[in-house]
Structure 1
Amino acid sequence: MEPLFSISNLVKTFSPGGETEVRALSGVSLEIREGEFLLISGANGSGKTILMLILAGLMDPDEGELLFRGRPLNTVMGDLRRHLGLIFQDADAQMVGETVAEDIAFGPKNLGLSKAEVEERVQNALAALGLEHKRDRPPRNLSGGEKRRLAVAGILAMGCQTIIMDEPFANLDWPGVVQVLEIIRQLKQEGKTVILLTHELEKVLAFADRLVILDRGIIREDGKPAEVLDRLKDAYGVRDPRKSYGTVADCTWL
């Protein structure tokens, strides 16, 4: 079966040739398959967010090839927009509506759907994420966990089958982390493709089909979580959570 994404030798450099040149990605090659739960981990500055932005078509690489379902990404941007949704680390940055319902409706409206179809999708997304009672609330009054639930609701309302989450546990308390993990478990059970970028493996590793370690813009490891952790080096800046939690299956806060 053809990969959902096929990435070959991606390079991204900022301030090339200057005194402050930074190689954010260096020869990254990766395949991502439909329905896979892929966990990408690495220390701050490893290149995780840059890779996410390139996958989503929001940033161009300097070199390399990126295919979506076998076709160059820049030729299928319309299909990509309907298929893929992003959850940014700063959930407030994604809020566009005056109410929770308006925020969820924003994406479906931009797809050109009828008013009735938009409302049906909003209702379904509110129910799926347990936000019906927040329908008329201002999004900025929600808790951190609820804001991320809202972001997922907007993506589901658009019919997206692939979700990328960038550090989804950042700045959340325990209840917020649990809310996000419940969403992640639901997405996995529904067969969605989930690409999750985090250094907090102890919270979510149990759900992963595959673990990739990114270090200074280079993929150092790629494989089954337990096998990758067995080869883990301290220099990558990623902690093996099994030292505190036991097995990979134990590494979740649910």
Structure 2
Amino acid sequence: MKLEEEARYEQLRKLGQELHIPISETFWELEVKDKDGKVIQSLKQRSHSWVRNAYNHMFSQLAGKNANYGTFGPGYLNVKDTGGTIRQATAPIGQSAADVDGTSYGYRGPAGNDTYGIQVGSGTNPESFEDYMLQTKIANGVGVGQISYIEQVGHAIAYDVGTRVLSNAMVRYFNNNSGGDIDVNEVALVVNQPQGGPVYGKWVQARDKLASTVTVPNTGQLKVTYTIQLTYPA
């Protein structure tokens, strides 16, 4: 992380706290271990990549506004799922009575399920605000070019009394038993929630292009952590 950039983020966080403006921050971290459990590579940086889906989700919830019909883009309040279908209905985006701390809905993808939760990919396209899927998702499995998706770890929130920061770390492990190295260049957060009404589906909230390739060796393990935090007013 660049020191000058971090200083600006710290200034923004404190200003938001002083003015009672919610300032959220997101970080991701990748850690690779070899077959003996030795850490051989790690990468950490800020996520700058909340996409249009996430903005529409947030606005719909904060404004108490139903999703609306129309195309996907500026001025429309809907989401585009990972299959490219635009979802909307006469209800707020993500409104649900489902348990999002479990593995049926929300971010916690079950074991062997690569359709939601933290996903990894090999694509190298730059990040775009209009992203709705990984460029090239690495599929779950043990075949050539595949990686095993482990059940996403349960949510664990923490509160720092001094900074008044509430955070939630989301962790998922991936095992490589494909017989060869797996290169990871992109990661995404995919939520399984109603897409503006009772129709459940999966949509990307954030897609991040890694600063450099992370290589998971055969019989190695990858750990991906997304940490979301919010600073509360003083």
Which structure shows the bigger proportion of residues in strand conformation? 2
TM-score over 0.5 for the pair: no
Which structure shows the bigger proportion of residues in helix conformation? 1
Q: Which TM-score band applies after superposition, normalised by the shorter structure?
A: under 0.3
TM-score by length of 1: 0.22
